[in-house]
Amino acid sequence: MSLMEIGKPAPEFELYDQSDQLYRLSDYLGSWVVLFFYPKDNTPGCTAEVCDFNSEYDRLSALGVTLIGISTDNLRSHQKFAQKYRLKFPILSDKEGRVALAYESLFRLGPFRIAKRNSFIVNPQGDIAAIYRSVKAKGHGGFIHEKIQQLMAGE
């Protein structure tokens, strides 16, 4: 049975981003949040997805939406990745995979743990408003932008 269901509280987390800034989901109560998990910095699919979200950042931000990426890569990897692609949003390091596990987004392959390509929209009350599993990298940012506009219109 899945603990991640629409209408249930989104799991809290505390993680650091590429600039060594601490992020807590609870800091964003009162606003919409898009959390997206991705497997690995600098791989073709993940680069496409992250760059797609980066191109949607201004439109999401104009709606008051906070965009946060999460992977199991370390902070140094995130720093290089964010600089290389001039990311406008935080990418958080979940090195131990605890947050990915809480969001049912952790994939284990022997001793390796990576995040699955999943996305979540969290409403201003801190509840899961939408879940997208095993998403396609290209075009996902635009898809999320459309979906969050629909969710906001239904408030």
The C-alpha angle with vertex 136 and arms to 108 and 109, in degrees rounded to 5, equals: 10
Q: Which of 46, 87, 114, 129 is catalytic?
A: 46
The C-alpha angle with vertex 34 and arms to 29 and 39, in degrees rounded to 5, equals: 130
**51 is annotated as an active-site residue:** no
The C-alpha angle with vertex 70 and arms to 69 and 73, in degrees rounded to 5, equals: 125
Tokens 């219109």 correspond to what residue? 153
Q: Which residues are catalytic?
A: 46
